[in-house]
Amino acid sequence: MFNLSPFKLMIIVAVILIFLGPDKLPQAARQIGEGWRSLKKFQQRVETEVREAIPSLPSSGDLARVVRSPVNLLNEIASRTQSIDDMGDIEDGPLPGELHSAEPAPEAPSAGEYVPPPPPPDPSWN
């Protein structure tokens, strides 16, 4: 749900410990637990009332799975796009329509003949 690493959790606990102190920490944890429990009970009560009013609705778990599916797909697409971006610039080759051009291919230089390097790519293409 929150995607917190163990390191981040340790930092959060350390900050809470600094602000509350070791004597108030158990009481604060108990209050947070009670608040979370009452929030879950409220959610279940509202869901039950809505189900009684509209019995054909799917469960909240089913709705969460339906919502997560496109989000996971978008995350996967984003990670693949990022990995493609990380591969660096790939030198451009001929486009499919340019494979069979009307111009004949340039002749290969003979041994010992100087061939100047190709011009740098046009920066406006990026």
40-49, 81-90, 92-101: segment of lowest average pLDDT: 92-101
Q: What pLDDT shows up at residue 117? A: 80
The Cα 23–Cα 31 span in angstroms is 14
pTM beyond cutoff 0.85 = no
What are the tokens at 95?
């486009």
Percentages helix, strand, coil for the chain (3-state, rounded to 5) are 60, 0, 40
pLDDT in tens, 37-53: 999 999 999 988 988 88
What are the tokens at 54?
């509209």
